[in-house]
Amino acid sequence: MALFLDSAMMDDVRKAMQLGFVVGVTTNPSLIAKTGRPGLMVLRDILDASHGLVFYQVTADSIEERMAQARKAAEFNPQRVMVKVPATTENMAMAYQLTKEGIMICITAVSGASQAYLAAQAGAVYAVPYVNRLTRQLGDGIAVLRDCKAVVAGTSTKILAASLKSPEEVVAAVIAGAEDITIPLDVMMKLGNHPLTQKAIDDFAADYAKIK
Protein backbone atom coordinates (compact mmCIF):
# COMPACT_ATOMS: atom_id res chain seq x y z
CA MET A 1 0.00 0.00 0.00
CA ALA A 2 1.44 3.34 -1.07
CA LEU A 3 0.65 6.99 -0.38
CA PHE A 4 1.18 9.59 -3.11
CA LEU A 5 1.04 13.37 -3.04
CA ASP A 6 -1.48 14.86 -5.47
CA SER A 7 0.04 18.21 -6.43
CA ALA A 8 2.26 19.96 -8.98
CA MET A 9 3.42 22.67 -6.60
CA MET A 10 7.10 22.36 -5.76
CA ASP A 11 6.62 23.55 -2.16
CA ASP A 12 4.08 20.76 -1.65
CA VAL A 13 6.44 18.22 -3.21
CA ARG A 14 9.33 19.21 -0.96
CA LYS A 15 7.18 19.15 2.19
CA ALA A 16 5.70 15.77 1.30
CA MET A 17 9.11 14.26 0.60
CA GLN A 18 10.31 15.41 4.02
CA LEU A 19 7.66 13.22 5.63
CA GLY A 20 9.55 10.18 4.41
CA PHE A 21 6.60 7.84 3.89
CA VAL A 22 5.26 9.51 0.71
CA VAL A 23 6.34 7.37 -2.23
CA GLY A 24 5.71 9.62 -5.21
CA VAL A 25 3.68 12.40 -6.83
CA THR A 26 0.58 12.45 -9.01
CA THR A 27 -0.26 15.40 -11.23
CA ASN A 28 -2.97 16.25 -13.73
CA PRO A 29 -3.40 19.04 -16.31
CA SER A 30 -5.41 21.20 -13.90
CA LEU A 31 -2.75 20.94 -11.18
CA ILE A 32 0.02 21.73 -13.67
CA ALA A 33 -1.95 24.70 -15.01
CA LYS A 34 -1.93 26.20 -11.52
CA THR A 35 1.86 26.41 -11.68
CA GLY A 36 1.74 28.58 -14.82
CA ARG A 37 4.61 26.58 -16.31
CA PRO A 38 4.97 24.11 -19.21
CA GLY A 39 4.09 20.58 -18.21
CA LEU A 40 7.37 18.90 -19.08
CA MET A 41 9.31 21.49 -17.08
CA VAL A 42 7.11 20.76 -14.07
CA LEU A 43 7.61 17.02 -14.60
CA ARG A 44 11.39 17.44 -14.72
CA ASP A 45 11.48 19.50 -11.54
CA ILE A 46 9.23 17.09 -9.64
CA LEU A 47 11.43 14.17 -10.69
CA ASP A 48 14.47 16.05 -9.39
CA ALA A 49 12.82 16.97 -6.07
CA SER A 50 11.22 13.60 -5.29
CA HIS A 51 11.73 9.89 -5.28
CA GLY A 52 9.49 7.18 -6.67
CA LEU A 53 6.86 7.47 -9.37
CA VAL A 54 5.71 10.75 -10.90
CA PHE A 55 2.41 10.71 -12.81
CA TYR A 56 2.03 12.88 -15.93
CA GLN A 57 -1.10 13.10 -18.09
CA VAL A 58 -1.20 13.37 -21.88
CA THR A 59 -3.55 16.02 -23.29
CA ALA A 60 -3.20 16.25 -27.09
CA ASP A 61 -6.22 15.99 -29.40
CA SER A 62 -5.14 13.07 -31.57
CA ILE A 63 -3.95 9.56 -30.74
CA GLU A 64 -0.68 10.15 -32.58
CA GLU A 65 0.01 13.34 -30.66
CA ARG A 66 -0.87 11.73 -27.31
CA MET A 67 1.44 8.83 -28.04
CA ALA A 68 4.23 11.29 -28.86
CA GLN A 69 3.56 13.13 -25.59
CA ALA A 70 3.68 9.85 -23.67
CA ARG A 71 6.99 8.81 -25.21
CA LYS A 72 8.55 12.22 -24.61
CA ALA A 73 7.49 12.24 -20.96
CA ALA A 74 8.69 8.70 -20.38
CA GLU A 75 12.11 9.57 -21.77
CA PHE A 76 12.79 11.70 -18.68
CA ASN A 77 12.99 8.51 -16.61
CA PRO A 78 11.32 5.32 -17.90
CA GLN A 79 11.49 3.71 -14.43
CA ARG A 80 9.77 6.62 -12.68
CA VAL A 81 7.40 8.36 -15.10
CA MET A 82 3.85 6.97 -15.03
CA VAL A 83 1.91 8.22 -18.03
CA LYS A 84 -1.74 9.03 -17.28
CA VAL A 85 -4.32 8.39 -19.99
CA PRO A 86 -8.04 9.24 -19.57
CA ALA A 87 -10.36 6.25 -19.70
CA THR A 88 -11.84 5.91 -23.20
CA THR A 89 -11.89 2.86 -25.46
CA GLU A 90 -9.69 4.69 -27.97
CA ASN A 91 -7.20 5.52 -25.25
CA MET A 92 -7.21 1.94 -23.95
CA ALA A 93 -5.95 0.77 -27.35
CA MET A 94 -3.27 3.45 -27.18
CA ALA A 95 -2.38 2.38 -23.65
CA TYR A 96 -2.00 -1.22 -24.79
CA GLN A 97 0.48 -0.17 -27.47
CA LEU A 98 2.45 2.02 -25.09
CA THR A 99 2.74 -0.74 -22.50
CA LYS A 100 4.18 -2.95 -25.24
CA GLU A 101 6.87 -0.29 -25.64
CA GLY A 102 7.69 -0.52 -21.93
CA ILE A 103 5.95 2.70 -20.90
CA MET A 104 4.08 2.55 -17.59
CA ILE A 105 0.43 3.51 -17.99
CA CYS A 106 -2.21 4.75 -15.56
CA ILE A 107 -5.82 4.87 -16.77
CA THR A 108 -7.37 7.88 -15.07
CA ALA A 109 -10.86 9.36 -14.61
CA VAL A 110 -12.30 5.85 -14.35
CA SER A 111 -16.02 6.32 -13.76
CA GLY A 112 -17.27 2.75 -13.98
CA ALA A 113 -16.12 -0.81 -13.45
CA SER A 114 -16.19 -1.60 -17.18
CA GLN A 115 -13.42 0.96 -17.69
CA ALA A 116 -11.33 -0.59 -14.92
CA TYR A 117 -11.84 -4.00 -16.52
CA LEU A 118 -10.61 -2.69 -19.87
CA ALA A 119 -7.66 -0.95 -18.18
CA ALA A 120 -6.56 -4.34 -16.87
CA GLN A 121 -6.87 -5.86 -20.36
CA ALA A 122 -4.68 -3.06 -21.70
CA GLY A 123 -2.00 -3.86 -19.15
CA ALA A 124 -2.27 -0.61 -17.19
CA VAL A 125 -0.41 -0.42 -13.90
CA TYR A 126 -3.23 1.61 -12.34
CA ALA A 127 -6.91 2.38 -12.77
CA VAL A 128 -7.91 5.60 -11.01
CA PRO A 129 -11.47 6.41 -9.84
CA TYR A 130 -12.10 9.97 -8.61
CA VAL A 131 -13.95 9.02 -5.44
CA ASN A 132 -15.29 12.34 -4.15
CA ARG A 133 -16.18 13.57 -7.64
CA LEU A 134 -18.04 10.31 -8.34
CA THR A 135 -19.93 10.66 -5.09
CA ARG A 136 -21.05 14.12 -6.14
CA GLN A 137 -21.95 12.97 -9.66
CA LEU A 138 -23.33 9.47 -9.07
CA GLY A 139 -24.08 9.34 -5.35
CA ASP A 140 -21.52 6.78 -4.11
CA GLY A 141 -17.92 6.96 -5.28
CA ILE A 142 -16.84 4.30 -2.81
CA ALA A 143 -19.26 1.83 -4.42
CA VAL A 144 -17.71 2.57 -7.83
CA LEU A 145 -14.24 2.00 -6.36
CA ARG A 146 -15.36 -1.29 -4.81
CA ASP A 147 -16.70 -2.53 -8.16
CA CYS A 148 -13.51 -1.45 -9.92
CA LYS A 149 -11.47 -3.42 -7.42
CA ALA A 150 -13.63 -6.49 -7.96
CA VAL A 151 -13.20 -6.54 -11.75
CA VAL A 152 -9.40 -6.16 -11.65
CA ALA A 153 -8.93 -8.83 -8.98
CA GLY A 154 -6.39 -11.40 -10.11
CA THR A 155 -4.75 -9.03 -12.60
CA SER A 156 -1.64 -6.88 -12.24
CA THR A 157 -3.70 -3.64 -12.43
CA LYS A 158 -4.07 -1.81 -9.12
CA ILE A 159 -6.70 0.66 -7.95
CA LEU A 160 -5.33 4.09 -7.06
CA ALA A 161 -7.98 6.16 -5.28
CA ALA A 162 -7.96 9.88 -6.08
CA SER A 163 -10.22 12.87 -5.33
CA LEU A 164 -10.27 12.20 -1.59
CA LYS A 165 -11.15 15.25 0.47
CA SER A 166 -10.93 14.03 4.07
CA PRO A 167 -9.25 11.40 6.28
CA GLU A 168 -12.60 9.62 6.46
CA GLU A 169 -12.73 9.27 2.67
CA VAL A 170 -9.15 7.99 2.64
CA VAL A 171 -10.03 5.26 5.16
CA ALA A 172 -13.22 4.36 3.30
CA ALA A 173 -11.26 4.01 0.05
CA VAL A 174 -8.71 1.71 1.67
CA ILE A 175 -11.42 -0.44 3.25
CA ALA A 176 -13.16 -0.65 -0.14
CA GLY A 177 -10.02 -2.14 -1.66
CA ALA A 178 -7.82 0.65 -3.02
CA GLU A 179 -4.22 -0.53 -3.01
CA ASP A 180 -2.79 2.97 -3.19
CA ILE A 181 -3.97 6.49 -2.32
CA THR A 182 -3.19 9.95 -3.69
CA ILE A 183 -4.21 13.07 -1.77
CA PRO A 184 -3.35 16.78 -1.53
CA LEU A 185 -0.91 17.93 1.12
CA ASP A 186 -3.59 19.45 3.37
CA VAL A 187 -5.49 16.15 3.58
CA MET A 188 -2.23 14.29 4.12
CA MET A 189 -1.33 16.47 7.09
CA LYS A 190 -4.74 15.79 8.66
CA LEU A 191 -4.35 12.00 8.53
CA GLY A 192 -2.17 11.79 11.62
CA ASN A 193 -4.12 14.26 13.76
CA HIS A 194 -7.25 13.82 15.88
CA PRO A 195 -8.75 16.15 18.52
CA LEU A 196 -8.95 13.33 21.07
CA THR A 197 -5.26 12.56 20.58
CA GLN A 198 -4.43 16.22 21.19
CA LYS A 199 -6.60 16.15 24.33
CA ALA A 200 -4.67 13.12 25.58
CA ILE A 201 -1.37 14.92 24.93
CA ASP A 202 -2.59 17.98 26.80
CA ASP A 203 -3.81 15.83 29.72
CA PHE A 204 -0.47 14.03 29.93
CA ALA A 205 1.37 17.34 29.92
CA ALA A 206 -0.86 18.77 32.65
CA ASP A 207 -0.43 15.70 34.85
CA TYR A 208 3.34 15.66 34.40
CA ALA A 209 3.58 19.37 35.21
CA LYS A 210 2.19 18.65 38.67
CA ILE A 211 5.37 16.82 39.74
CA LYS A 212 7.71 19.66 38.81
User: 156-159: long-range contacts at Cβ-Cβ below 8 A with a sequence spacing of 24 or more?
Assistant: 156/120, 156/123, 156/125, 157/116, 157/119, 157/120, 157/123, 157/124, 157/125, 157/126, 157/127, 158/125, 158/126, 158/127, 159/116, 159/126, 159/127, 159/128, 159/129
The string of DSSP letters for 78-143 reads TTTEEEEEES-HHHHHHHHHHHHTT-EEEEEEE-SHHHHHHHHHTT-SEEEEBHHHHHHHHS-HHH
Please give the Cα distance from 153 to 156 (Å, whole number).
8
Cite the active site residues: 84
Measured in residues, the chain has a length of 212
Task: Output the CA–CA distances (angstroms, integers) from residue 144 to 88, 148, 169, 179, in the order listed.
Answer: 17, 6, 13, 15
